[in-house]
């Protein structure tokens, strides 16, 4: 039968030479509008529909012609951090959504949004219904700074601040006060630079992006004119990439302000750095120390806003106003480095420095949270303990993405990490370590459970209704998209 097409319930399905599962086709389609395959197809469930979830699904579907994949997502909308984490002025990074959409529309893949795994359905119930369960739900927790005053008004995590301007429903009420002149961002990774750029970006640039309308309105009224991006180590250890730094350097109506003393000895160290790090450091040195050309000097002179990378500083305390209600400043410890390169450590000197500011944004990292008591979790590393994506002491359970490695790297890093997990799972199927011979009900039994519990999943065609509404709302005001900001609003459109 290989190579022939089979017309079945109005859908074309490739048989791909695996007649053993064609013989058991159910006569109909499942709730997602996808054809129901044989009960003896290997069934894999993925929890989380961000890059890790979709890349894992993509690899499984391409590598094996009989595997069926169901993706469960807590929100009614897919794509995780591609939708809610990527900066609005980086639309090219979001193009990966096209690839994920192809995967979601594949005949052997189904998407079920609005399903909160761990609450609406347990991991144990998923494990009974599927041959394998892959946890790819990312890192939705905040790392705490652990300093006095971090609960004052005016202190936010970068994760929440980014969620606010990107329309994450749980961050809709954030309403940050941008009435101060100086903002301090703790951390020097790409997310920290994204936040700095959004705070200082001219409104006429932002209003052409998919930034949410409440964020756009707040930024249009913002009094923030100076942003300090603080790191505990030196220029050679910054965590951002050259693209993000270059965008800050070229940001209209801004000029850089950096302390020459922070760059002592950096020029001499350049020759020993690996190429990407060398190019990044050279751009920093040039921006901080070199006298700019006439045109650039003119641009800087006209700028009404400033930004700077501030090195060798760690937060000690968030300082409050006299009423002890709001942020009025931040006390920073002055550090020195011990060791060299990436392995160097920041050591306290005993000196401190106070910076007046009304806004502090902590960009010191995301962290994963445990989903279910039955799943092993390393609370110190904030990951699920695993070996190449295989969850330890839990046959048939896997993890991919930040839950597997911690919150590091870019989308391409997550892609490779997810492909590795998919390969581990496929190896286990092939070797018999993962027994796929018993029939499993997959989404049939889970759909019945959800139905009984009054949970109505959002399938991919429902998401496409939401997508269409957002695109047309955006088009009406000259934006690529105007996002729906509440789960209720999303469900309303999905169920029309």
The domains located in the chain, with CATH, are 24-140+368-494 (3.40.50.720), 143-365 (3.50.50.60)
CB-based contacts of 168: which residues, under 8 Å, 6+ apart? Answer: 84, 162
Dump pLDDT digits (tens) for 409-466.
889 999 999 999 999 999 999 999 999 999 999 999 999 999 999 999 999 999 999 9
Q: Which helix (H) or strand (E) holds 133?
A: strand 132-135
How many other C-beta atoms can be found within 10 angstroms of the C-beta atom of residue 465? 15
Report the pLDDT averaged over residues 214-231.
98
Name the one residue in this structure whose structure tokens are 């086709």. 25
Contacts of 29 (CB under 8 A, 6+ apart): 9, 11, 35, 36
**Residue 9 confidence (pLDDT) above 50:** no
**In the predicted structure, residue 484 carries a pLDDT above the cut 50:** yes
Residue 441: Cβ within 10 Å count: 14
The SS3 of residue 261 is: helix
Q: For 238-244, what is the mean pLDDT?
A: 95
Q: What is the mean pLDDT of residues 179-203?
A: 97
Burial code (b: 16+ CB inside 10 Å, e: under 16) for 66-101 equals bbbbbbbbbbbbbbbbbbbbbbbbeeeebebbeebb
What contacts 103, CB < 8 A, 6 or more positions away? Answer: 54, 57, 58, 61, 109
Question: How far apart (Å, rounded) are the C-alpha atoms in residues 382 and 402?
Answer: 9
Can you tell me the distance from the alpha carbon of 301 to that of 291, in angstroms, rounded to the nearest whole number?
13
Residue 39 pLDDT grade (very low, low, confident, very high; cuts 50, 70, 90):
low
pLDDT value of position 7: 29
Nearest to 429 by CA among 66, 72, 104, 22: 66
Selection from 200, 188, 195 nearest residue 85 by Cα: 195
What mean pLDDT, rounded, does the chain reach?
A: 91
Q: pLDDT confidence of 341, banded at 50, 70, 90?
A: confident
What does residue 294 show for φ and ψ, rounded to 5 degrees?
A: -55, -45
Asked if residue 339 has pLDDT above 90, the reply is: no
Nearest to 409 by CA among 420, 423, 425: 420
List CB contacts of 306: < 8 A, sequence separation 6 or more: 225, 226, 227, 254, 255, 256, 257
**Cα 38 from Cα 112, distance rounded (Å):** 20
Residue with tokens 């496929």: 426
pLDDT in tens, 361-398: 999 988 999 999 999 999 999 999 999 999 998 999 99
Query: CA-based angle 320:322:327, to the nearest 5?
Result: 25
**Residue carrying structure tokens 């079920």:** 112
Secondary structure of residue 386 in the 3-state scheme: strand
Interatomic CA distance for residues 410 and 192, integer angstroms: 14
Q: Strands 141-142 and 366-367, how do they pair?
A: antiparallel
Helix, strand counts (H, E) of the chain:
18, 20
Q: How far apart are CA 8 and CA 27, in angstroms?
A: 8
User: Over 90: is that where the pLDDT of 137 sits?
Assistant: yes
Q: Each residue of 41-76: pLDDT tens digit?
A: 999 999 999 999 999 999 999 999 999 999 999 999
Name the CA radius of gyration of the chain, rounded.
25
> Could you tell me how many residues make up the chain?
496
Evaluate whether 336 touches 347 at the Cβ level (below 8 Å): yes
Nearest to 205 by CA among 197, 191, 473: 197
Q: Which residues contact 177 (CB under 8 A, 6 or more apart)?
A: 153, 154, 326, 358, 359
Map tokens 């993890």 to a residue.
399
Q: Report CA-CA distances (Å) from 29 to 25, 110, 428, 459.
A: 10, 11, 29, 13
């Amino acid at each position: 039968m290989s190579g022939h097409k089979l017309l079945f319930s109005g859908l074309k399905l490739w048989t791909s030479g695996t007649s053993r599962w064609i013989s058991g086709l159910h006569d109909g389609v499942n709730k997602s509008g996808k054809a129901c395959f044989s009960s003896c197809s290997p069934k894999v469930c993925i929890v989380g529909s961000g890059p890790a979830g979709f890349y894992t699904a993509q690899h499984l579907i391409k590598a094996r012609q009989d595997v069926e994949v169901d993706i469960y997502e807590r929100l009614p909308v897919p794509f995780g951090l591609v939708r809610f984490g990527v900066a609005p002025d980086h639309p090219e990074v979001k193009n990966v959504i096209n690839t994920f959409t192809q995967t979601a529309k594949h005949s052997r893949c189904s998407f079920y949004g609005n399903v909160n795994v761990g609450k609406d359905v347990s991991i144990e119930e998923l494990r009974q219904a599927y041959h394998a369960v892959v946890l790819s739900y990312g890192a939705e927790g905040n790392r705490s700074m652990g300093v006095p005053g971090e609960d004052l008004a005016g202190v936010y995590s970068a994760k929440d601040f980014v969620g606010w301007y990107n329309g994450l429903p749980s961050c809709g009420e954030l309403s940050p006060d941008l009435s101060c002149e100086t903002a301090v961002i703790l951390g020097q990774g790409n997310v920290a630079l994204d936040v700095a750029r959004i705070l200082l970006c001219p409104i006429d640039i932002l209003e052409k992006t998919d930034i949410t309308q409440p964020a756009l309105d707040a930024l249009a009224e913002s009094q923030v004119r100076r942003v300090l991006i603080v790191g505990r180590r030196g220029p050679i250890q910054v965590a951002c990439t050259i693209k993000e730094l270059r965008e800050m350097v070229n940001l209209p109506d801004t000029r850089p302000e950096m302390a020459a003393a922070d760059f002592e000895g950096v020029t001499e160290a350049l020759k020993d750095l690996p190429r990407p790090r060398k190019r990044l450091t050279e751009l920093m040195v040039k921006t901080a120390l070199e006298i700019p050309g006439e045109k650039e000097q003119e641009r800087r002179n006209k700028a009404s806003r400033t930004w700077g990378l501030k090195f060798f500083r760690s937060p000690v305390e968030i300082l409050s106003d006299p009423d002890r209600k709001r942020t009025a400043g931040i006390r920073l410890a002055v550090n020195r480095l011990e060791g060299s390169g990436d392995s160097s450590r920041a050591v306290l000197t005993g000196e401190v420095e106070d910076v007046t500011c009304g806004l502090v944004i902590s960009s010191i990292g995301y962290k994963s949270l445990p989903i279910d008591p039955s799943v092993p979790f390393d609370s110190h590393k904030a990951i699920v303990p695993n070996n190449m994506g295989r969850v330890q002491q839990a046959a048939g359970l896997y993890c991919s993405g930040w839950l597997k490695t911690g919150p590091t790297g870019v989308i391409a890093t997550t892609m490779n990490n997810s492909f590795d997990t998919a390969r581990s799972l496929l190896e286990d199927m092939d070797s018999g370590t993962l027994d796929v011979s018993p029939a499993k009900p997959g989404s049939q039994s889970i759909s019945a459970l959800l139905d009984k519990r009054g949970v109505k999943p959002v399938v991919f065609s429902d998401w496409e209704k939401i997508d269409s509404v957002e695109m047309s709302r955006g088009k009406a005001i000259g934006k690529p998209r105007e996002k729906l900001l509440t789960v209720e609003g999303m469900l309303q459109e999905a169920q029309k």
